[in-house]
Amino acid sequence: MEMTERQLIQEILNTVDVVYDFENADEDNKEYTLLITRQKEDTRELSTINNEMKRYFKEADFSYDEDMEPKNDGAEIKVDIARHNTVNTTDAD
């Protein structure tokens, strides 16, 4: 069974282990805006977390555009991701 875009995004964010919220989710256009915050006990640098997320999303064929410490969103990182290219699923189980 194939994962939805949203499930894939959630799996990536859970792997990176951050608190997240979907500010915007345009399922039809596969465009999402994520608000990311570190967990209270997380001592990693924001840039470290951002680089880790960016790597996972790029591997999953998402574009990735981050805004570090945005002014008005109550998040530490605001990320716009999109997945416009079609992924070859013919080889999938």
What is the Cα–Cα distance from 52 to 55, expressed in whole angstroms? 5
Q: List the pLDDT tens digit at each of the 93 positions of the chain.
A: 677 899 999 999 999 999 999 999 999 999 999 999 999 999 999 999 999 999 999 999 999 999 999 998 899 999 999 997 665 555 554
Q: Counting beta carbons within 10 angstroms of the beta carbon of residue 19, is it exposed (0 to 12), middle (13 to 18) or buried (19 or more)?
A: middle
pTM equals: 0.85
- State which amino acid sits at residue 56: Y
| Pair type for strands 77-82 and 19-26 | unpaired
